[in-house]
Amino acid sequence: MRIPPYYRDKTWQRFFAGAAIGAVLSWFIFLHLFGVLQEKQVRQITELQDKIADLNSDIQIWQEDYIKLNKLNKKKLTVQEIRIQLVNANEYKLDSYMKFHIEESVKEDVSHLVAKDIETVYQSKDLLKKTIENKTYTINEQTYRLEITELFLFTTLSIELKLKPVHR
């Protein structure tokens, strides 16, 4: 078997030469277009990386400011409301008026704490406990004292009290 001698024919020589030159030219055109597109992509990636870096620095600045403002606001928190609850009023068969009277009496004793800093109130909580627990109440010829069971301190001062009889 023999290969036909097409390489000697001028038309085939022109065809192969044109195919080779076309392949080389198309390769250069491909490289040029690919290079332009890649350059465009690289430029876009670097722009996005710069934006991300700027946004990250902005986030950092905002977080620092947010933390500072939170610390300042925590220092400025004040007691805005006082809630008093007598837990065992049913145990001593107190009517709602007597329960209300005792709760209001305690509320009057601690009313000076409204609009005070929470930190100041916290530092004087022992004095607050003694103020409430040392007062006696006479109900149906029986003397009672209050005992603080729970004391929650935030913008609302919430105190739960128990009534205890005084033994003479």
101 and 117 inside one domain: yes
Residues 94 and 159 in one domain: yes
> Along the 168 residues of the chain, how does pLDDT read in single tens digits?
676 776 678 888 888 899 999 999 999 999 999 999 999 999 999 999 999 999 999 999 999 999 998 888 777 788 889 999 999 988 988 889 999 999 999 999 999 998 888 888 999 999 999 999 999 998 888 899 999 999 999 889 999 999 999 876
3-class state of residue 129 by DSSP: helix
User: In this structure, are 29 and 100 located in the same domain?
Assistant: no
Read off the pTM.
Answer: 0.59
Please give the residue range of the domain that contains residue 11.
6-76
Q: Are residues 62 and 95 in the same domain?
A: no
Q: Do 34 and 96 share a domain, yes or no?
A: no
Report how far residue 108's alpha carbon sits from residue 87's, in angstroms, rounded to the nearest whole number: 18
Q: Are 114 and 160 within one domain?
A: yes
Domain shared by 132 and 154, yes or no: yes
Residue at a domain's end among 48, 76, 104: 76
Based on the fold, state whether residues 36 and 102 are members of the same structural domain. Answer: no
In a domain, 1, yes or no: no
Domain ends where: 37, 60, 76? 76
Identify the CA nearest to 151 among candidates 82, 53, 61, 56.
Answer: 82
Q: What's the token pair of residue 52?
A: 């991300």
Same domain, 28 and 92: no
Query: Rounded to an integer, what distance in angstroms lies between the CA atom of residue 33 and that of residue 154?
Result: 68
Total structural domains within the chain: 2
